[in-house]
Structure 1
Amino acid sequence: MPPAPTATLRQQRLGAELRRLRERAGLTSTAAAALLGGPQARISNIEAGRYAVSADRVRTLARNYSCADEEYVDALAAMTGGRMRGWWEEYRVTLPSGLLDLAELEHHATALRVAVTVHMPGLLQTPEHARATMREAVPPLRSYEIEHRVSYRVKRQAVLFESPPTPYTAIVHEAALRMGFGGPEAARAQLHYLLEMSEDSTITIRVLPFGQTGFPASGQPITYAVGQVPQLDTVVLDTDHGCEFLDAEAQLNRYRCVLDRMESRALPEPKSRDLIQRIAQDL
């Protein structure tokens, strides 16, 4: 198959998983290519995500690597094919590739868990809140760049309304509720939107209030995208230099623990809604 013009995060992840399977089997890329009946470069290109690979070939590779986990192999096979022309592709020229990878990741996730400290969760932001936060970007964004990013963020929210919707759990620190981006009116509208969204049966919003004696995270926004199988989970850290994607087993275990501890210290849903309501009334 021809090489992909630019490997997406999903294609890179499939290649990385196939490389892990090969290494666990104790095979070199040359030996794997011999089993497949092709040149070593073919294995290297597949593992780098540069070549599209069919579901049948993934199953053949898994068999060659003695992988007996059928659920895992089925999930890998489902990741095959060329670049999916998702809605995010229309932003490829105007937005960083990491943002497009984030949208693709959210689209394929079976559930999403997020934790935020200063900003509202991206999938729960009103356009005006998103616009106000983007005006604080360093270096500054031009007006048209802000509007591109706002429309992109709004379109990402479709995963919450699809049929079926993606289950979504957000841990929001009280600090984020009190930041007031965009002024009192915009901040009040944002809090009312959180309350509205919290009534949805597939959306859970819990507040981590001031006064907790500990905080089991660094403060940077965390997104945990649940895959078809646990091996295909992904953590996304929102950093000043862009999105950082993590998928090593130790990293996944660490952030699962971090999110579990944050949830254990957050208010229950009814008390979280009460606190959001009180803060909105004070604005």
Structure 2
Amino acid sequence: MTPRPAPTARRVRLATELRKLRERAGLTSTEAAKLLGTSSGQLSNVESARFGVSPERVRAMAHAYTCTDQEFVEALIDMANDRTRGWWETFREVLPPTFLNIAELEFHATALRSANTAHIPGLLQTTDHAREIFRQVVPELTRSDIEHRVNHRLQRQAVLEQSVPTTFRAVVHEAALRVPVGGPAVAKHQLQHLVEQSEREHVTIRVIPFAIGAYPGSGQNVHYASGPVARLDTVSLDQSHGPVLVDAEAQLEMYRVLLDRMEHVSLEPSKSRDFIHHLLHDL
């Protein structure tokens, strides 16, 4: 097993799921280590993501922990087998780790959903819109830091442009659409971009108008990434200090319900497109 001084969020998630499997089996780390023919110290290193773990070891652990969910086990094996060094690694020395984690999460997601009440979803932002957003960060960023963040955000959008694009369902509140970020010209271009994106088969944009009033999830920004199985889904929540990743099963279920309800009160996609067109003509 190879030491990993800076494990990625994906490696940490694999380690966490292996620990959960052991705990569900009712085994202590000492008991599990004996079954696996290793030491409790080595097992602890695996479960804390300080060491990597081979696909064969993952399979042995699942067997020892009597996990019968074969689809889930195969998904964990795929994670252990993954050696991808994505484009986000080029930003490792210039951006906080949370930025890299989000990009890695989206890259591996089988589907993406988001709900935004104050901002346009990052995957749908134009260059000038994103740049103005980062200009407002507190404490103030240097010009170089702003450009690093803008470039990172634009490269994240590649998941919507690849040959087999990731499906993306976004719910956006009218408030986020009406804020003229960067001035009228930038705002107009941003709205036009949303219209164009909404016409793509794999992108769905739904608007919650002011007229709806109160609704579930009001005030929240939620980014939901589906994994190969539901147990490996992840939610990213925006915070002033950066995104926070959530993956507890009860929380995942809560956010799935929340997003469903937000979609339920929103305008259907064609009416949402017409709504954005109307705002565009008002600029």
Aligned position for 2:267: 267
Aligned position for 1:238: 238
Aligned position for 1:15: 15
Which runs of no fewer than 5 residues in structure 1 stay unpaired? Answer: none
1:188 aligns with 2:188: yes
Aligned position for 2:87: 87
- Within 5 A, what are the aligned runs for 1:16-95? 16-81=16-81, 84-95=84-95
- Within 5 A, what are the aligned runs for 1:149-228? 149-228=149-228
The amino acid across from 1:248 in the alignment is A
Measured in 1, the distance between the counterparts of 2:273 and 2:216 equals 23
Decide whether the 8 Å contact of 2:22 with 2:65 is kept in 1: yes
- Secondary structure of the 2:206 match is strand
The amino acid across from 1:197 in the alignment is Q
Offset, 1:148 = 0.4
Decide whether the 8 Å contact of 1:36 with 1:61 is kept in 2: yes
1:132 aligns with 2:149: no
Measured in 2, the distance between the counterparts of 1:235 and 1:215 equals 20
Offset, 1:220 = 3.0
- Secondary structure of the 1:242 match is coil
Decide whether the 8 Å contact of 2:216 with 2:258 is kept in 1: yes
Question: 1:45-95 CA deviation, whole Å, 9 max, x = no partner?
Answer: 111111111111101000000001110000000101475311001101111
Decide whether the 8 Å contact of 2:117 with 2:218 is kept in 1: no
Decide whether the 8 Å contact of 1:220 with 1:239 is kept in 2: no
- Secondary structure of the 1:239 match is coil
Offset, 1:218 = 4.7
Offset, 1:274 = 0.6
Question: 1:227-274 CA deviation, whole Å, 9 max, x = no partner?
Answer: 000000001001101110000011101111110110000001111011
Aligned position for 1:142: 142
The amino acid across from 1:163 in the alignment is S
Distance 1:229 1:82, change over 3 A: closer
- Secondary structure of the 2:79 match is coil
Offset, 1:214 = 2.0
Offset, 1:163 = 2.2
Decide whether the 8 Å contact of 1:120 with 1:172 is kept in 2: yes
Measured in 1, the distance between the counterparts of 2:208 and 2:41 equals 50
* TM-score for the superposition, normalised by structure 1: 0.98
Measured in 2, the distance between the counterparts of 1:83 and 1:163 equals 21
Question: 1:191-237 CA deviation, whole Å, 9 max, x = no partner?
Answer: 00000011110000000111113221152321010000000000100
Question: 1:155-206 CA deviation, whole Å, 9 max, x = no partner?
Answer: 0000011121100000000001100100000000000000001111000000
Which runs of no fewer than 5 residues in structure 2 stay unpaired? Answer: none
Measured in 2, the distance between the counterparts of 1:84 and 1:237 equals 25
Measured in 1, the distance between the counterparts of 2:242 and 2:83 equals 22
Q: CA RMSD in A?
A: 1.0
What is the total number of aligned residue pairs between the two structures?
A: 283
Aligned position for 1:99: 99
- Secondary structure of the 2:95 match is coil
Offset, 1:278 = 0.7
Give me the identity figure in percent: 54
- Secondary structure of the 2:129 match is helix
Measured in 1, the distance between the counterparts of 2:158 and 2:238 equals 20
Distance 1:144 1:100, change over 3 A: same
- Secondary structure of the 2:182 match is coil
Decide whether the 8 Å contact of 1:4 with 1:82 is kept in 2: no
